[in-house]
Structure 1
Amino acid sequence: MSVFTPVSRAELEQFLHRFELGELVDFRGIDGGSENSNFFVTCEGGEFVLTLVERGPVNELAFFVALLECLHQAALPVPYAIPDRQGQAIGSLNGRPALLQPCLPGSHVQQPDASHCSAVGDILARLHAVSADCGLARKTDRGVEWMQHEAALLRQSASGDASALLDEALHALEQFASFRPALPQAVLHADLFRDNVMFEGHELTGVIDFYNAASGSTLYDVAISVNDWCLDDANQLDPARTDALLKAYAAHRPFTNVEAECWPHMLRIAALRFWLSREIAARAHAEHEGVLIKDPDHFQAILANHRRVEVELPVSG
């Protein structure tokens, strides 16, 4: 179970006394987290998710709270921080910043089809439309400079095809730098994987885990999503699912010619980012029993497959 900071029932009851939610009924840690500690919490007043933030500076939590409130006010299906009796949305529990949010309905889809991917493209475009105008900004701590630094470090111990892949990925980062000024910008989710989206059947009911959200090129967010939702069993892009996601996105915000030219580079960069972060996490938690360690080789394989990108962006005209 991926709970880095344990919480006892008595500690949680004391924390919940700040809210108008009634008495605690039950709670349990949530499996699958790799960065924060999360708990399902049942109170007389409903079902909630408690997050203890384990990574990142505390002063940035106000950004996440404001972003989610902005998206919530735009009627997007996202969690939002519940304020306590004093109107405070950010609390503290066992030395960690704590957020209490409503539990969204639905479950994760492990085998998405084209309709699921279309729904993801739709919600991502709507999210970008709202976040581009919300007046919020945050610099990511895992951007181009971070990737260049970490790829160079990994390159020192890599060999064979891994070494060649890193050289190619570093070249993709250099190419992206020339495109970046002309690419549309917004606040990105930056982690829109299958385990961060909820469905009831084919209806998308929630988007969760915004703790990697940051300002950036919207195309990067699209590439991150495609690299998870649209892969076949060989870690190659499935044309039907990729086309469904991209066309649903483009129905809200058409892609530009510059984005189409940058698309292969962006797919590689999105794969590189998660290859690197998973390598770092695997090394950091190798001896920590119970911590979910996601396989970095998965994204190394995706990056290798993106040496040839045959699914193009749908650009009209």
Structure 2
Amino acid sequence: MSVFTEVSRAELDAFLTRYDLGRLVSYAGISGGSENSNFFVSCEQGEFVLTLVERGPVDDLPFFIELLEGLHADGLPVPYAVADRQGQTLQQLNGRPALLQPRLPGKHIAQPDASHCQAVGQTLARLHNSTEKSGLLRDTDRGLHWMQRHLGEQLEQCSVAQQSLLTPLQRVIGTWLQTPPHLPQAVLHADLFRDNVLFDGHHLSGVIDFYNAASGWTLYDVAICVNDWCLDAQQQLDADRGHALLAGYAALRRFTPAEAEHWPDMLGLAALRFWLSRQLAAGQHGGQSGVLVKEPEHFLRVLEGHSRVSIGLPLAL
């Protein structure tokens, strides 16, 4: 169970007195997360998710609250912060910033098919269309400068084979820091893995966990999705699912020739970002009771699979 900060029933009872939600029926920690503490909370008036924010500056939380309110207003299936009797959405619990949000219906899909991937692509395009002109801005704390710094540290500990896989990306980062590619930008989810999407049958019913959301290249968000939703058992791109996700996205938001040019490098950088974060998490939390540490080696295998990218972006003629 990935809970960094424990919450007792008495503490949760006291917390919920701020809301008009009735009596606490039950609660349980949520497994699967790796950065925040999350709990399912059942009250007389409904089902909710309580999040204690463990990472990142508190100053950014109003951004997340406004982002989700805007996406919800645009009809996207996202959670949003419930206000207490005083109209406050951002709370404190056990020394952590706390948000209470409605629990969305549906479940995670472990083995997605092409129709699931098409729905994810369409929803991601809707998210980018909604945020492109929203005026919301947030710098990521895990961007190119972060990658450059930690990749340099990690390379010293890598094998020769790993270095040959990672060094080309080090060169890409250096080039892009000096001359950033001209690519469409919006607010990104930046973590749209299978465990952050809910389906009710084949209907996409929820997108959750926006705590990595930041301004950036929309193509990067697409690459993050493809790197999780469209891999086969050998961590290589599955053609049917890859084409379905990209086509779903392109139906609502066209790709540009510049994006097509940078697509292979973007797939590599998206894999690198999560290899680095998992490596750092393993060093920080490895062996810690109650904390999920995901396997870093998975994304090295993804990078190996990207040595030849066979799925290109669909471009309008």
1:135 aligned residue = 135
In structure 1, the partner of 2:247 is 247
Shift of 1:120: 0.2
Q: CA deviation at 1:289?
A: 1.6
* Mapping for residues 179-258 of structure 1, pairs under 5 Å: 180-258=180-258
Match of 2:62 in 1: 62
Q: State the partner residue of 2:299.
A: 299
Give how far 1:178 is off: 6.9
Per the TM alignment, residue 55 of structure 1 is displaced from its structure 2 partner at its CA by 0.4
Once residues 42 and 58 of structure 2 are traced to their aligned partners in structure 1, the CA distance between those partners, rounded to angstroms, is 26
Q: Deviations over 1:183-235 (max 9, x none)?
A: 00000000000000000111100000000000000000000000000000000
Q: What is aligned with 2:311?
A: 311
C-alpha contact (below 8 Å) 1:173/1:265 kept by paired residues: no
State yes or no: 1:26 paired with 2:29. no
Partner of 2:109: 109
Residue 297 (structure 2) pairs with residue 263 (structure 1): no
1:163 matched to which residue of 2? 163
Once the two structures are TM-superposed, the CA of residue 135 in structure 1 deviates from its matched residue by 1.2
TM-score for the superposition, normalised by structure 2 = 0.98
Question: How many residue pairs were aligned?
Answer: 317
SS of match in other structure, 2:251: helix
Moved more, 305-314 or 176-185: 176-185
Q: 1:179 and 1:245, CA in 2 relative to 1: closer, same or farther beyond 3 A?
A: farther
- Cα distance in 1 for partners of 2:66, 2:137 equals 11
Judge conservation of contact 1:137–1:215 (CA < 8 Å) in 2: yes
Distance, in Å, in 1 between the alignment partners of 2:107 and 2:142 is 28
Unaligned runs of 5+ in 2: none
Task: Report if aligned partners of 1:172, 1:268 keep a CA contact under 8 Å in 2.
Answer: no
| 1:98 is the counterpart of 2:101 | no
CA contact (8 A) 1:140 1:214 kept: yes
Q: Partners in 2 of 1:96 and 1:225 — Cα distance?
A: 30
For residues 271 and 213 of structure 1, the distance between their equivalents in structure 2, rounded to whole angstroms, comes to 17
Give how far 1:287 is off.
2.6
Shift of 1:137: 0.3
Contact 2:4 2:290 in 1 (8 A): no
Deviations 1:226-274 (A, max 9, x none): 0000000000000110000001100111100000000000000000000
Give the secondary-structure state (helix, strand or coil) at the position aligned to 1:51.
Answer: strand
Q: Which runs of 5+ in 1 are unaligned?
A: none
1:67-78 aligned at under 5 Å gives the runs 67-78=67-78
Q: Which residue of structure 1 aligns with residue 47 of structure 2?
A: 47
1:35-75: CA deviation from partner (whole Å, max 9, x where unpaired): 00000000011000000000001111000000000000001
Q: CA deviation at 1:133?
A: 1.6
Contact 1:175 1:265 in 2 (8 A): no
Amino acid across the alignment from 1:164: S
For the pair 1:83 / 2:111, whether they are aligned, the reply is no
Q: Aligned AA for 1:274?
A: F
**Over residues 9-53 of structure 1, what are the superposed CA-to-partner deviations in whole Å (9 max), with x where a residue is unaligned?**
110011000011111111010011110000000001100000000
Matched with 2:7 is 7
Residue 307 of structure 1: how far off its partner (Å): 1.4
Task: State the match for 1:283 in structure 2.
Answer: 283
Identity of aligned residues (%): 62
TM-fit CA distance, 1:290: 2.2
What is the CA distance between 1:174 and its match in structure 2? Answer: 3.4
Distance in 1, Cα, partners of 2:274 & 2:252: 27
- RMSD of the TM alignment (CA)? 1.0
Secondary structure of 1:157's aligned partner: coil
Stretch deviating more after TM superposition (267-276 or 286-295): 286-295
2:146 aligned partner, one-letter code: W
